[in-house]
Chain A
Amino acid sequence: MRIALLSDAATQQFIPVLRCLFSENGVTVDFYEGPFDAIELEVVNPASGFYEFKPDVVLLLNSTQALRSRYYEHGIEPEFDRIRRIWDALETNSSCRIIQCNLPLPYDRPFGQFDLKIQSSLYSGTQALNSHIARIAGGRPNVLLCDLEAVASYVGRRNWFDDRLWDMSKTFCNLDHLPLAAQAMVDLVLAGLGRVVKCVVLDLDNTLWGGIVGDLGPFGIQLSAHGDGEAFYRFQKYLLSLKKRGILLAVCSKNDMENAVAPFEQNSGMALKRDDITVFVANWENKADNIRLIRDTLEIGFDSMLFLDDNPFERNLVRKFLPEVIVPELPEDPADYVRTLSELNLFEATSFSAEDVARSALYRQEADRRRAQNSYTDVTEYLKSLDMRIAVARFETRKIGRIAQLFSRSNQFNLTTHRYSEAQCSVMMQNERGCIPLQAILADQFGDHGLISIVVAWPEGDTLRISDWLMSCRVLGRGVEQYLMNHIFSIARDRGLSTVRGEYIPTAKNAMVKDFWARFGFENSSESTWEMDVTRYAPHTVWIREDSSIGENGR
């Protein structure tokens, strides 16, 4: 790709920054750097070095400082026509794409705030010039605007401008901010090359709303235009604005479909409706496979997909198996979601048309017609790399609060849904001869996940009866249940018991574990019980090691 940079400021320091950013994005660029302050000379002369270079793209970087110098000579008026003449000359002599920078507003205001009312002031004049540039660019599809004023004002004018650097070397901004200015231009060039985000793949729980919908129900989640959940509402509104400009939205959630869809269809507080989501995937498979499914359905490239999930486990899994998918870190606080995405400037466009507005609906119809194949990702290596550690122990007094909380809140991965109070949990804990109440605490390289699973077992005759088994869905698919099942059978074996008997009581919310026992090879022994001989059980391979030292702090 051939890029020419023409400027009324010195750009020797800027070119290496541009080169570096293009290289990071895998684009090889030949640069042409016009002579200092010779924009007009280069573009009006068909025999100039600029035209000889035959650029694909020209970056026009007009500096506020040079504008100021000219303003002191001639006022602002000649500037309006100057920009138009430069574009005209370029379009006459070349077919290169034009990227025009607008101008960061100056800080000097001789009239103070009254400057706004003085149309001939440098301050008002620069604003008017920026508006003029935007207006006339509207009629020229070949001209893209680089909003350097937005970059500078986000940094802050007092940090952006460095007058000493201008005086010494005609550098247009503080060296620290050259990369930001360059990034804005690189983003535009990449968008011109078709490197744009076409689809945003969204997690649901704690990404699109607060809390776990499977536990809280469609009306219990945090989501409102005011107060608690406002951050999520604002985030949804932002996503809706992306959808309206033609970016597809997809959902990829570890949930039962019924639970996942419920807020979209029932909770009027949702800014996003079911129809806004082009592909909706909710199941308990790994997210890399589900994103493949979405990709196959939409027939777009992985590199045009953006995946947003609050859970670092899921983000890293997708990064590992689908390295082309864009997976930004999300901030801890959902209040910062929109700001973080805005700073990453992921949604550049080079045009906007009626087709963009209609795209979501078109794709949706297409997606509804299609049934894509599910593929299989082997996550073993990934699980190994997580360095998962678990501490399984009898209920502990200091954990009783968290244990009772888990009993009261878990709905989905909960085989019998008994709601025990703290007092009842304490009774089980103290019943050392008759009851084996187990808590499990998990940690991995991302940190401590706290107490995430509970199993209650009762030795009865030659049988070990499992009355309760529940787990936080956040740690699903990592082998925690397999680890605990191994643990249960080793207890049964150590005690000389012959059978393990499990129970399952269906509720409106725990369908995801209805085959739990069958999947482990248990046989149905009555309507709600399942059994397996201890001798028949073959331990499962897991990538979690025992570490009793974790969970000393926290939940």
Chain B
Amino acid sequence: MDSATVKLRLDKVFQDIFDDPSLQITESTTASDIDAWDSLTHIDLIVQVEKEFKIKLSTGEVRGLKDVGDFMTLIAGKAK
């Protein structure tokens, strides 16, 4: 999947999870940039991304993520 599509759909997931329709993510966004992004919303985010992109993420892959850019690369590589 190309990165523009990933960004578009990932924005929507973030907006849903953080309940903020104006939220826009960038590649350098990290958990410290969004107040409500704690370890639990992180789980909600992972589960929601798996559903949205119909992919499965391993524990190791999730742990290795440094920022949203990493996340997008991971998704783009796995999603069809």
| Residues of A bordering B, CB below 8 Å | 10, 12-13, 164-165, 167-169, 171, 175
Q: B28 at the A/B interface (Cβ < 8 Å)?
A: no
Residues of A within 8 A of B39 (CB): 169
9 A-B pairs, CB-CB below 8 angstroms? Answer: A10-B40, A12-B40, A13-B40, A13-B43, A164-B59, A164-B62, A165-B43, A168-B46, A168-B59
Where chain A touches its partner, the secondary structure class is helix
Query: Are B59 and A167 interface neighbours, CB within 8 A?
Result: yes
| Residues of B bordering A, CB below 8 Å | 39-40, 42-44, 46-47, 57-59, 62
Q: List 5 A-B pairs, minimum CB-CB distance, nearest first.
A: A169-B43, A12-B40, A167-B59, A164-B59, A175-B47
Q: Which residue of B lies closest to A174 (CB)?
A: B47
Q: How far is the CB of B4 from chain A (nearest CB, A)?
A: 29
Residues of B within 8 A of A165 (CB): 43, 47
Residues of A within 8 A of B44 (CB): 13, 175
Query: Are B59 and A171 interface neighbours, CB within 8 A?
Result: no
Residues of A within 8 A of B42 (CB): 168-169
Residues of B within 8 A of A175 (CB): 43-44, 47
Residues of B within 8 A of A169 (CB): 39-40, 42-43
**Alpha-carbon distance A169/B38, docked complex (angstroms):** 11
Determine which residue in A164, A167, A169 has the highest number of CB atoms from chain B within 10 A of its CB, and name it: A164
Q: How far is the CB of A453 from chain B (nearest CB, A)?
A: 51
Where chain B touches its partner, the secondary structure class is helix
Residues of B within 8 A of A13 (CB): 40, 43-44
**Alpha-carbon distance A171/B59, docked complex (angstroms):** 14
Query: Are A168 and B47 interface neighbours, CB within 8 A?
Result: no
Q: How far is the CB of B36 from chain A (nearest CB, A)?
A: 13
Q: Which residue of B lies closest to A10 (CB)?
A: B40
- In the complex, besides A13-B40, A169-B43, 5 extra interface pairs with C-beta distance below 8 angstroms are A12-B40, A164-B57, A164-B58, A164-B62, A168-B43
Q: Which residue of B lies closest to A13 (CB)?
A: B40
Residues of A within 8 A of B59 (CB): 164, 167-168
Residues of B within 8 A of A10 (CB): 40
Q: Which residue of A lies closest to B63 (CB)?
A: A168
**Alpha-carbon distance A13/B41, docked complex (angstroms):** 9
Residues of B within 8 A of A168 (CB): 42-43, 46, 59, 62
Q: Which residue of A lies closest to B47 (CB)?
A: A175
**Alpha-carbon distance A73/B43, docked complex (angstroms):** 28
Q: How far is the CB of A176 from chain B (nearest CB, A)?
A: 8
**Alpha-carbon distance A546/B11, docked complex (angstroms):** 52
Q: Which residue of A lies closest to B48 (CB)?
A: A175
Q: Which residue of B lies closest to A164 (CB)?
A: B59
**Alpha-carbon distance A112/B30, docked complex (angstroms):** 45
**Alpha-carbon distance A130/B79, docked complex (angstroms):** 42
**Alpha-carbon distance A165/B56, docked complex (angstroms):** 12
Q: How far is the CB of B48 from chain A (nearest CB, A)?
A: 9
Q: How far is the CB of A171 from chain B (nearest CB, A)?
A: 7
Q: Which residue of A lies closest to B56 (CB)?
A: A164
Q: Which residue of B lies closest to A162 (CB)?
A: B47
Q: Which residue of A lies closest to B58 (CB)?
A: A164
Residues of A within 8 A of B43 (CB): 13, 165, 168-169, 171, 175
Residues of A within 8 A of B58 (CB): 164
Q: Which residue of A lies closest to B40 (CB)?
A: A12
**Alpha-carbon distance A164/B60, docked complex (angstroms):** 10
Residues of B within 8 A of A171 (CB): 43
Residues of A within 8 A of B47 (CB): 165, 175
**Alpha-carbon distance A317/B57, docked complex (angstroms):** 49
**Alpha-carbon distance A4/B57, docked complex (angstroms):** 34
Q: How far is the CB of A21 from chain B (nearest CB, A)?
A: 18
**Alpha-carbon distance A46/B15, docked complex (angstroms):** 44
**Alpha-carbon distance A169/B59, docked complex (angstroms):** 11
